[in-house]
Amino acid sequence: MKVLVTGATGFTGGWLARHLTKTGDVVRALVRSDSRVAADGLGQAGIEAVQGDLRDPASLGAACRGIEVVYHIAASYRTAGQPASAYRDVNAAGTGRLLEAARSKGVQRVVHCSTGGVHGHIERPPATEDAPLAPGDVYQETKLEGERLARAAGEAGGLEVVVARPIGIYGPGDTRFLKLFRLARGHVMLGRGDAFYHLTFVEDLVEGLRLCGTVPAASGRTYLLAGRRYTTLRDLVTLVAAELGTHPPRLRIPVWPVWLAGAVCEVVCVPLRIEPPLYRRRVEFFTKSRAFDASRAARELGFAPSVELEEGIHRTAVWYREQGLL
Ligand SMILES: NC(=O)c1ccc[n+]([C@@H]2O[C@H](COP(=O)([O-])OP(=O)(O)OC[C@H]3O[C@@H](n4cnc5c(N)ncnc54)[C@H](OP(=O)(O)O)[C@@H]3O)[C@@H](O)[C@H]2O)c1
């Protein structure tokens, strides 16, 4: 199939574009002209890079020409030093623009990558796709808005839409979880560590996304894509510490003063468009439970994550060491 991947200069989109190439698709990637990552690597992997931006409708129309399936992975996510309007313009309005371009160019299916974060803190673990929607910050709110636009476009007819909600994607190429690895070899843990955390190894996740793009009956459905098991944060940190050959941190400090410091950093930095050194979403990582049941994806898509947590942590640590990050 001829497919378009947005976000291919990022962590998940990069893995997905390469996975789809290996499994036989002809892959085009939408790449921003000012992307932090050079598109050369994509070209070497046999991926056609076309310039475009979710804020530029004309570029999206050109990118969708001749495409059968769009995997919409791009999002405004890792940068915290931006106002709410910037998240909304990419994650919600940008998704709307892409859906419109896909429809007008006769694309058959759009796989919309949302996030399990639309459920917010999980009160009753594990959560299924039907758990309450309770986004807890502007990123999660705008991801939910994007998801709703995607679902509405599917319901309007003429375009198949599948919504994927990945959970805690990690693996070689990601630096978001580096902080957790560094914390595991330190002395201080934030909070009691009894919140649940759920990780999904990127290799398993991209196969789940491919299934969303190819299984006929997936049209119109929403799927949580999560790893084989979840743990408490305390147990996760202990597993990472074991991989690193160290003791898990023994000193616990309360969360709320750090959360308050994060809020202050945001108030000062965001209007100046400076990346805050600390922000609430980062601190809430230690307090909000995330534990999911991905059995719908297993049943309907044949999603079968195969990378055990210990193995995924090992492969990630190896990559961090190779990069000189640990
Ligand atoms: N990482 C996780 O744990 C996690 C969990 C659940 C869901 N997700 C979802 O999974 C997806 C991928 O996450 P990730 O962690 O792989 O993200 P990432 O590494 O931050 O990559 C984001 C990608 O989006 C692109 N992008 C941002 N703004 C754009 C715009 N205006 N136009 C076109 N492209 C734009 C970026 O391009 P540049 O290179 O130009 O910046 C980059 O390629 C996102 O939809 C995210 O919401 C992630």
9 CA closest ligand 1 atom index: 43
Q: Is 95 in the pocket of ligand 1 (CB under 6 A)?
A: no
**Ranges of each domain in the chain:** 2-175+197-229+291-309
78 CA closest ligand 1 atom index: 20
**Which segments in the chain show pLDDT lower than 50?**
none
**Closest by Cα among 253, 3, 29, 184 to 111:** 3
32 CA closest ligand 1 atom index: 40
CB under 8 Å to 184, separation ≥6 — which residues? 237, 238, 240, 241, 244, 246, 248, 249
- Give me the pLDDT at residue 266, please: 87
Looking at the chain, list the stretches that DSSP marks H as alpha helix, in order from N- to C-terminal side: 11-22, 40-44, 57-64, 84-87, 94-104, 138-155, 178-184, 202-214, 233-244, 256-269, 280-284, 295-301, 309-322
Q: Please give the distance, rounded to the nearest whole angstrom, from the Cα atom of residue 301 to the centre of ligand 1.
A: 24
Q: What is the CATH number of domain 2-175+197-229+291-309?
A: 3.40.50.720
Q: Is 140 in the pocket of ligand 1 (CB under 6 A)?
A: no
**Closest by Cα among 125, 120, 203, 124 to 165:** 120
**Closest by Cα among 55, 59, 43 to 9:** 43
Q: How many CB atoms lie within 10 A of CB 115?
A: 23
- Give me the pLDDT at residue 215, please: 98
Q: Please give the distance, rounded to the nearest whole angstrom, from the Cα atom of residue 132 to the centre of ligand 1.
A: 24
**Exposed/middle/buried for residue 278 (C-beta within 10 Å: 0-12, 13-18, 19+):** middle
Question: How long a stretch of residues is the chain?
Answer: 326
Contact criterion met (CB below 8 Å) for 310 and 240 = no
Ligand 1 mutation pick, 5, 73, 275, max ligand atoms within 8 A of CB: 73
Q: Is 163 in the pocket of ligand 1 (CB under 6 A)?
A: no
Q: Please give the distance, rounded to the nearest whole angstrom, from the Cα atom of residue 91 to the centre of ligand 1.
A: 10
Q: Please give the distance, rounded to the nearest whole angstrom, from the Cα atom of residue 75 to the centre of ligand 1.
A: 4
- Give me the pLDDT at residue 298, please: 98
Give this prediction's pTM.
Answer: 0.94
Q: Please give the distance, rounded to the nearest whole angstrom, from the Cα atom of residue 249 to the centre of ligand 1.
A: 31
Alpha carbons 121 and 174: distance in angstroms, whole number: 23
- Give me the pLDDT at residue 105, please: 98
- Give me the pLDDT at residue 267, please: 87
- Give me the pLDDT at residue 253, please: 87
Q: Which residue has the tokens 């944060």?
A: 233
Torsion of CA 31, 33, 34, 40, to 10 degrees: 60
Atom 40 of ligand 1: nearest residue by CA position: 35
Alpha carbons 106 and 95: distance in angstroms, whole number: 17
